[in-house]
Structure 1
Amino acid sequence: MTSVQNHQQQLSGNRKLKKSYITYALTILLGVSACTPRSTVLRAPGSIGQVSGTENNTAQNNTENQASEKGNSAKAKKIAAERTIALLLPFQLDNISGTGVEEKDVKRSALALDFYQGFELGLRALNNKTFNLKVIDSKDNTYYNSTLASSEEIANSGIIIGPVYPIEIKAFGNNLADKNKLIVNPLAASPASEFGLNNLVTVTPSIKSHSKGIASRVASDHLTGDVIIIYQASDNDSRQFLDGMSSAIKAANPQANIVSVSTLAQLNEKLSTTGTNQIISGTTDKTNLNNLISNLSKKSSESFYSIRLYGHPLWDRFDFGTHSNFYNLRPIITAESNLKSWTNQARNFRDLYKQEFGVFPSDQSYKGYDIAQYFGKMMDKHGAENLKSKLESESYTGLYNSYKFVYNENWGFTNEAVSYKEYMHGSFQLQ
């Protein structure tokens, strides 16, 4: 199952604006169509007959000249590749009918369009930095991606951004001959271990990264006299989120006092009156979560219990309005995004995006911008060939995402950077 969300651009409202956006999208789609590559088939040269005497010397000179030209050509291609980015996005142009691009086609391509537009602005913001950007329709097609991996356009690119969907990533990555060339997974939150590609860069933090983020925060908040209570629930999200939680906390704070429970009765027995009760829950089951909050809210109202609740990132999507005292539990969750919409940088990007494209940016637009900024700067600074040795040492804080990459020889680079949100004034807000 893909974790990529298709936040489609809103096309409702002013008809003139809608028509303007569709017209612009049509221009982009036609442009992508024009530069969509086909796999190149290399043919062996024909047999050369035997020659002698002067003919042999001439043939030798010709061969040497051809070899020299070939060497110069290869060198030129290598230099060009250092500034070339292949951007593989699922525009799905093959699904457009012969009568032309319609609004439904734009909606289907919304994820790709939004990301591309943000990416374009990100590269443009790198003043005086020239890149050759190849925009390629990955078509959301497994077989096509497997053949695309061997195309000349990919071979002559320094870095590959995309494909987007997990099944595309697997097909493309497994068939890419140059295993030293980085493939950036820009949106899918699937665990990198599912792909088994040591040249893959997974930008979106996985649930394991969120789990590590909570473990780090709990360990940092922990003081002498506090108790950490891991509340184990039976739903899959809870099991996945809490897997390895205790050992991760211990690694960060060996003195941490940790207990695990699986029922509310057990939890109540472990509550301490001498310090803060740091409760960790990964459940997303609404009944289980409501019961937990009701129980903790009741205990929190008793003056001798100090409680702080740490939870699953999906809690950000839930409505806790029925729990009027939920904020008293001082809930903390992790988040992928660090977007602060009130800052000048965020406002300027939003205004520029609206001015350029007639609509406001989506999450994919912000992500495209950040990826262009980070990898564009890294390519300019170190060159495409040296990126693999530099990613771990250079972190990044962008408009929407932060990057802190950790390398594993089995599945490549994963982004461990997460932000923290606290529940205040009726919603989870960035700290």
Structure 2
Amino acid sequence: MTSVLNRLQLLSGNNFLGALVLTATITVSSCSKKAVPPPVSSSKPVENTVKEDVAKSAKEPAVFSRNSNKIPVISLVLPFNVDQVDLSTASTKKDIEPSAVALDFYQGFRLGLDSATQSGNKIKLQVFDSKDDSVEARNIARKQAIINSNLVIGPLYPAEIRSVNPISVENQQYFVSPLSPRVVVKGNPFFIVPVCPLEIHARKAAEFIIKKFETNRVMILKGSDSDEDNFVKPFKVAFEEQSIGTAINEYRTTTNLFDPMVAKLVKGQNNILLVSSANKAFWQSLLKFLDKNAKDYNFTIFAYPGSEKLTNSLGLKNLEKYNVYFTSSYHIEKNDPGTAAFFTKYKQVYATDPNEYAIKGFDIGYFFAKLLSSHITDYDKYINKFYNGIHNNFQFVKTENGFLNESLKVLKVENSKFVEQK
């Protein structure tokens, strides 16, 4: 099945955005047999809608109404920001920049739903514009259409996530934080995080170092932007729990000067450095320091999550030369037949290559559409099933803070390309 945005270019999402201008939500049905364009209906004022929703909720418990759905209902809450886009003149990527992330994610998500429903299963999809506003997101979360959904995808950003969190708990409403690598809210069992949180990256790095390397010392490099609570502390805890007699040293610089660190290095040993910064200037200065001292010292580097995005600035040769390892929740293997087929299909439909947000959208759409098609009322019991995706692998684990994805890969540059390490 082709998408609702059938053969529209990524930069010409005006028809879809135009529909959102008229109403904050659109409803589509996804199946394998034919494309269904989103019908547009008039919307009521937010204040009246909220009052009506509260009244309806009092009459019928949300969980019971939700369980009576004949087909799974998924609600997508994204910052399309249609009020910031002039549809009469928009013709370039810059013109629709306020909507770009949402559009990219939506297009990948729809393709994921279409792929998951090729056998004839149906998914009802509702789309809402959160306008990148926490008040708007909270008002949307109170709508009966949302409360009666089997699953909510979004919102994207921390302030919006916090605003809908208490409503999610009140209505026992599962919702997915699709892009954030942080556990934004605590103590919500209905919170689902597909992007591995930083704490899990830290633990994975500690476990890999202990398993892979024989060392009695590790040094943590800190910059002005280092994440102490979500990365450094979890690494220390995991490392100290699993390694006996290994010293953890620290070196902090707010000026990107590393020469004083020489006093803490050991000749003849593998100096393992955990970098807790993704700042480009920090990394560039560090690589210069490594170049300067490579003849006298051996180094192995573990990078802060997301640092692989600096590859073009730092150079693959440098990353390979100094044994830089990356913990990553995603790695695209373009030679894989399934991945190649996805890239081909996406370009056929949207006349452009998918970016990171579109690929994330596909994996999330495909995984949850498949899950809900098989287990509409009790999918939380089956969410831990492993998923090998295009961009992400999913291995959800139930915690006190909801379901967190703990599937991570360790990557290293070999022969000028990223290779997964076992």
Question: Shorter-chain TM-score: which interval?
Answer: 0.7 to 0.9
Aligned pairs, how many?
377
Matches within 5 A, 1:238-253: 239=228, 241-251=231-241, 253=242
1:412 to 393, 402, 407: 402
Query: 1:186, 1:325 → 2: CA distance?
Result: 32
Native 8 Å contact 1:86 1:135 kept in 2: yes
Closer, same or farther in 2 for the Cα pair 1:258/1:78, shift >3 Å? same
1:151 counterpart = 2:143: yes
SS at match of 1:380: helix
Give the structure 2 partner of residue 402 of structure 1: 393
Whole-Å separation in 1 of the counterparts to 2:122 and 2:133: 31
Normalized against structure 2, the TM-score is what?
0.77
- What do residues 257-307 of structure 1 show as CA deviations (whole Å, max 9, x unaligned)? 33314376666555263x6443323244566545544554555434xx653
Residue deviations 1:194-218, cap 9 Å, x none? 4653321122223222222211211
Residue 227, structure 1, aligned to residue 227, structure 2? no
Conserved? CA contact 1:88–1:162, under 8 Å: yes
Which residue in the other structure is 2:412 paired with? Answer: 422
Structure 1 residue corresponding to 2:295, chosen from 293, 297, 301: 301
Question: Which of the residues 176, 179, 186 maps onto 1:187?
Answer: 179
- Compared with structure 1, are the counterparts of its residues 358 and 264 closer, same or farther at alpha carbon in structure 2 (3 Å cutoff)? same
How has the CA–CA distance of structure 1 residues 353 and 146 changed in structure 2, closer, same or farther, with 3 Å as cutoff? same
Higher helix share: 1
Spell out, residue by residue over 1:104-145, the C-alpha distance to the aligned partner (whole angstroms, 9 max, x if none).
654432211111111111111122221111122222222222
Query: Residue 346 of structure 1 contacts residue 399 of structure 1 at CA under 8 Å; is this kept in 2?
Result: yes
Deviations 1:178-204 (A, max 9, x none): 442201011123x21446533211222
Alignment of 1:333-372 (within 5 A): 333-372=326-365
In the TM superposition, residue 371 of structure 1 has moved relative to its aligned partner by 0.4
Please state how far the C-alpha of 1:246 moved relative to its aligned partner: 2.7
Query: Partners in 2 of 1:231 and 1:357 — Cα distance?
Result: 44
- Is 1:278 the counterpart of 2:269? The answer is no
Deviations 1:348-388 (A, max 9, x none): 111111111111111111111100111112212322x3233
The 8 Å contact of residues 297 and 326 in structure 1, kept in 2 or not, is answered as no
CA contact (8 A) 1:22 1:106 kept: no
CA shift, 1:99, in A, is 4.7
Match of 1:206 among 197, 203, 208: 197
Displacement, 1:83? 0.8
Cα gap change, 1:279/1:227 in structure 2, threshold over 3 Å: closer, same or farther? farther
Measure, in 1, the Cα distance between the counterparts of 2:247 and 2:169.
48
How high is the TM-score relative to the length of structure 1?
0.75
- The change in CA–CA distance for 1:76 and 1:316 in structure 2 (over 3 A counts) is closer
Provide the C-alpha distance between the structure 2 equivalents of 1:177 and 1:324, rounded to a whole number of angstroms: 49
Change (3 A) 1:363 1:283: closer
Q: SS state of the match for residue 176, structure 2?
A: strand
Q: How does 1:156-175 map to 2 (within 5 A)?
A: 156-175=148-167
Percent of counterpart pairs with the same letter?
22
How big is the shift at 1:86?
0.7
> What one-letter code is carried by the residue in structure 2 that aligns with 1:352?
K
Cα RMSD of the aligned pairs, angstroms, is: 3.5
Shift of 1:235: 2.4
Q: Give the 3 Å change call, closer, same or farther, for CA 295–176 of structure 1 in structure 2.
A: closer
In the TM superposition, what is the alpha-carbon distance from 1:88 to its structure 2 partner? 1.1
